[in-house]
Amino acid sequence: MITSTVGPVDATVVPRFGGDTTFARLPRMADIGDSDVVVWGVPFDTSVTYRPGARFGPNHIRQSSRLLRPYNPALDAFPFGRNQVVDAGDIGVNPYDIAAAITTIEGAATNLVGTGRTLLTFGGDHTIALPLLRVQHAMHGPIAVLHFDAHLDTWDTHFGEPYTHGTPFRRAFDEELIDLEHSMHIGLRGPLYSHVDLDESARMGFAAIHSRDFARKSLDELINRMRDRLGARPVYVSLDIDVLDPAHAPGTGTPEAGGLSSRELLEMLRGLEGMNIVGMDIVEVSPAYDHAELTGIAAAHAAYEMLSVIPSHR
């Protein structure tokens, strides 16, 4: 058991625009003897259906995280003090072979989890959620998936391909990785092919809070719905940055108007405090379409709130 932690570089000694570009300027995994929580990147976007570029997402989030500080006043938490958090860098994955990339991601995640570390993964496109859920299922059994996204990502195939960024939760359902009574989408919006898309998603175990609900209901009510759905089950949080409105996150591959604000997303993540969080990801950050680091900053702050609600390992 780790009894003390090494936190970020002291910004009163090294200015935030200097030093290593790790997430929140945390120590590198190679420099720490052991760790509780690992931040790492999977720069893979071969499976996107519209704009490419999420392969550059992990380092964009890191660069945008330089202003993060050790104390989270919203939750009265020290996310880098309750757990030893490290940055393991990015893994190399095959950019030409989707199946090979999925196998590599699953193997790397298994090694990083070790005997019980919690992983916060930066994508990359949403395909990476499938191998990450396989690893969590191997440890915990069926997983309550909390999916923040404008899109369902429960389609069967795209152009005949079963493994794309729009299909990870269909494949996870097929592989019986998902807890069918405790999973949920948050932030759905935009046109669909037909009502069958929604029916199929419900059949796969997903309840839903739609983006329009945020205009009609209080955040407290929506947080309570989320918590009631998840219960005490092991929860995997998968956050597609396009859950945010393009005004808040233009740097993504498949933007949809009418999304959440950054404030609404951060409050929903804070609402996970005390839940049984076993793993998390942030995907689909595509910096080529970003402006003034709007998307990167939103993703970095979302990651900070995620780290603040991960249960203490100590």
* Span 306-311, average pLDDT: 97
Protein fold of 23-309: Arginase; Chain A (3.40.800)
Q: Would the pLDDT of 270 be above 70?
A: yes
- Report the share of the chain in percent with pLDDT over 70: 99
The Cα-based distances of 145 to 11, 95, 186, 244, 276 in angstroms read: 36, 27, 11, 19, 12
What are the backbone angles phi and psi of residue 210, rounded to the nearest 5°?
-80, 160
Q: Are 251 and 286 in contact (CB under 8 A)?
A: yes
* Span 161-172, average pLDDT: 98
Q: Which of 12-21, 109-118, 234-243 comes out lowest in average pLDDT?
A: 12-21
Q: Would the pLDDT of 2 be above 70?
A: no
How confident is the model at residue 243, as a pLDDT?
A: 98
Q: How many residues are recorded in the chain? A: 314
Contacts of 126 (CB under 8 A, 6+ apart): 47, 149, 153, 165, 166, 168, 238, 240, 283, 284
* Span 1-11, average pLDDT: 76
Mean pLDDT for the chain? 96
Q: Are 99 and 163 in contact (CB under 8 A)?
A: yes
For residue 61, the cross-strand partners are none
* Span 218-233, average pLDDT: 98
Q: Which of 38-42, 113-117, 183-187, 277-281 comes out lowest in average pLDDT?
A: 113-117
Q: Are 123 and 54 in contact (CB under 8 A)?
A: yes
Strand 277-283 with 183-188, pairing: unpaired
pLDDT tens per residue across span 66-98: 999 999 999 999 999 999 999 999 999 999 999
pTM of the model: 0.96
Q: Would the pLDDT of 262 be above 90?
A: yes
pLDDT tier for residue 38 given thresholds of 50, 70 and 90 = very high
Q: Would the pLDDT of 39 be above 60?
A: yes
How confident is the model at residue 125, as a pLDDT?
A: 98
pLDDT tens per residue across span 182-202: 999 999 999 999 999 999 999
How confident is the model at residue 3, as a pLDDT?
A: 54
Q: Is 312 exposed, middle or buried (0-12, 13-18, 19+ CB in 10 A)?
A: exposed
Q: Are 110 and 133 in contact (CB under 8 A)?
A: no
